[in-house]
Amino acid sequence: METVRFFEDTTIDDIPRVGGKGASLGELYHFLRPAGVPVPDGFTVTAAAFRQLLESAGLVPAITALLADLDPADVAELARRGKRIRDMVVAAPVPDGLRDDILAAYRTISAGHGGPLDVAVRSSATAEDLPDASFAGQHDSFLHIQGEAAVMDAVRRCWASLFTDRAISYRIYKGFEHMAVALAVVVQQMVRSDRATSGVMFTLDTETGFDGVVLVNAAYGLGEYVVKGEVSPDEFYVFKGTLDSAPCPVIRRALGAKRERLVYGAGAEPTGGEAVPDVDRWRFCLTDAQVLTLARYAVQAERHYSERAGHPVRLDLEWAQDGADGPFYVIQARAETVHSRARRSTMIRYRLTGSGPVLARGVAIGGGIATGIARVIRSDAELPSLKPGEVLVAETTDPAWEPIMKTAAGIITDKGGRTCHAAIVSRELGLTAVVGTGGATRAIRTGDPVTLHTVGGGEGVVYAGELPFTTETVSLAVGERPRTRIMMNLGNPNQAFEASRLPNDGVGLARLEFIISALIQAHPAALLHPEQVTDPAVRGAIVRLARGYADPAAYFVEKLAEGVGTIAAAFHPKPVIVRLSDFKSNEYANLLGGRDFEPHEENPMLGFRGAARYVSDSYREGFALECRAMRRVREDMGLTNVKLMIPFLRTVAEGDRVLARMAENGLRRGENGLEVYVMCEIPANVILAERFLERFDGFSIGSNDLTQLTLGVDRDSERVAGVFDERDDAVKTLISQAIRTARRMGRHVGLCGQAPSDYPDFAEFLVREGIESMSLTPDAILPITERVLAVEKGLATDAGAC
């Protein structure tokens, strides 16, 4: 009987012998090590060895009897029986031959390291890391174990952890026979990440299942804190589509709090926590180059596993950086277990229909909405007080809580990130969660009604009160596509991955305003010249926003580029038309520091906005930052599907000046395939359409402003709101003229206003006039696509009849 197997002798086919971790490490060893990717040395004590222990000690009948009639809902009885079984396993004598085999293997891997090797001893169940059951956190592992006696003790405790309360409950919940699951034990060279960094990677977005990215979570110290949710890690998204061709396809970064790190212990305990110095907390713990190295390792592993399986396999990987010699090690790889089994042919749309005060913000998990009465849990002893249907609020969660967690309506934690235990278990149980809030246990009291909103998968929000919401299941089945391109209006990057699932032809209007107001929050001039901001509190807020970046201006550029890059990556290689900023002066003034730089205007709608800003001296530096961000998206991220669009361009001469200003900032029309469109939203754009289109690559008709200026109606005024109608004959005449001119000149012409989303008959009018594309709100995509198809078929029938 084989009791020990070294990594180099193991493949993924050996899961029945060595469990999920042992098999994945063997597989990684075989294909990553020849590619130059560091993989730690080690071996696995096989499942057969565990079975030998149980049989030699005669434990199988006793364990079977203790588990036979167990009700996992009876937490006290579950704890009593679980402890009894674990005590029996730990006390069982290890057969001499088995002990000799384990210690001989330990001496073998220690031989090249000048003494007893420092190892991690990790559980590796034969039923873990399956597509429909991750077994995340169910069994125990032990770090910084050194010496033969310590290794044997850790192996015993790993064996016993097959019967933790949480593991017993999980097997019952998932329908696994207890004695059909065995536990192998991985003995693996420790990577000294206590002196560096560690974390988790997924080869998809964990909230939406979008598989075009690698998600990297990273923090200082040993990786257990990231996995357990003891820290809020830094977060990075890398776009796979340009990973091999672009200099830096890191499309999103989020700075985590990283308050603590797990390091080697100084006393009897092998590990212990310590505070991270502020200077390290407020910077990213990985450079972009390091993030890209990890992402390439993840993609290599994904390709290998997918080729081996004959179908795409998305992975959940753990990694660690060795502080002693610097390289990154991949220390585990397993199949992702939530989206791999989800139905991708439908989408559930959640809409919050009420509002309330915000209690907490954090990382959104689950992509839904949940309501309930809060129950704040501050210790294991309080856990039984959680009633089914309540919202669990805690500093963090523990794997031992899983029998109770599955009864909760939702989960809120102070600590943790997108790959922590609370997040993984919430997804697997289908729960909505907001993790890493920083202070929910202080802001929420037991008995408070709360609503968790995690739609979009970016920021999760906890509102006071049980707010009303609606749900709708939408079919994503892709049928016949119309000739008219159906594009999307989108401004929130957090919605991009999910929205890209809708049948579409790209993004016809990506607005910068949401990114600037919600994600950047500060006026570009205030970031460039914080010394000119008069309010000390605002200056302090700007300093806090820019933590982790080279300077406040770099913060603006990076955040803007990441917002646009996320949208462009979600829809790549389809076109994404990005409209440069079109704030009015009153809207700019509402940004942090804005009042120190913006003029007061009586009618901002017709004032200092759009192209007029770009060519002005007062906004020259701000426009340069926008251009830097767009260059980063197209050149560094490699997202050349981004096209740029100029809003509110009043004169042809102004258009020439805008193009010249863009060229000064490295955005020259025609270079690297750059197309520059202009909004057709002023009657002058239609009257002089030929002259505008000689300078630009196409028109995107903005029906909102065009209606306002054609009818002389202030679209923000309630008094004349009844006059505002895009379907007015005067407006439609101008739109028809713009379409005809653009088509005659061979230029693109589309429409990105609100009208076709609100009025299906207006969409029909556009199709009949020969529009090339129309850009719609996401909720209008499916019904308007059907309407457009019907109109096109009718036109084809009419043409055939003639």
Quick one: pLDDT at residue 133?
47
Quick one: pLDDT at residue 801?
59
Quick one: pLDDT at residue 724?
87
Contact 396, 416 (CB under 8 A): yes
Look up residue 678 and give its DSSP letter.
E
H or E stretch including 75?
Answer: helix 75-91
- In the residue annotation, 752 being an active-site residue is answered as yes
Burial 351-362 (b: 16+ CB within 10 A, else e): ebeeebeebbbb
Q: Which of 144, 421, 453, 572 is catalytic?
A: 421
Quick one: pLDDT at residue 261?
96
Quick one: pLDDT at residue 376?
97
> Tokens representing 308?
């081996």
Quick one: pLDDT at residue 559?
97
In DSSP notation, 443-511 reads H--TT-EEEEE-TTSSEEEEEES---EEEEEEE----PPPSSEEEEEE--GGGHHHHTTSS-S-EEEEE
Quick one: pLDDT at residue 34?
86
Quick one: pLDDT at residue 324?
62
> Tokens representing 402?
């899983």
Quick one: pLDDT at residue 129?
44
Quick one: pLDDT at residue 799?
67
Half-sphere exposure (CA, 13 Å, Cβ side) for 59? 24
- Cβ neighbours of 446 (radius 10 Å): 15
Contact 43, 121 (CB under 8 A): no
Q: Is 287 helix (H, G, I), strand (E, B) or coil?
A: coil
- In the residue annotation, 113 being an active-site residue is answered as no
Quick one: pLDDT at residue 341?
66
Token pair 């993924």 in the structure block, residue: 12
pTM for the structure as a whole: 0.90
Quick one: pLDDT at residue 321?
96
Residue range 272-307, pLDDT digits in tens: 999 999 999 999 999 999 999 999 999 999 999 999
Tell me the C-alpha distance between 728 and 724, whole Å.
Answer: 8
CA-wise closest residue to 546 among 527, 526, 518? 527
Quick one: pLDDT at residue 523?
97
pLDDT along the chain (802 residues), means of 10: 91 84 85 85 93 94 93 87 95 95 96 91 71 61 94 96 88 83 92 95 94 97 91 97 98 95 87 94 95 97 92 94 86 83 77 94 92 94 91 88 85 91 83 94 97 86 96 82 95 93 96 94 97 96 93 97 98 98 94 96 92 96 98 98 98 98 98 98 98 98 94 82 90 98 97 88 94 93 91 81 56
Whether the ω angle into residue 573 lies within 30 degrees of 0, i.e. cis, is yes
- 593 Cβ partners below 8 Å, 6+ apart? 522, 523, 525, 526, 527, 530, 533, 535, 538, 539, 542
Burial class (CB in 10 A: 0-12, 13-18, 19+), 675: middle
Greatest alpha-carbon span in the chain = 94
> Tokens representing 420?
């922590």
Half-sphere exposure (CA, 13 Å, Cβ side) for 146? 14
Tell me the C-alpha distance between 101 and 46, whole Å.
Answer: 11
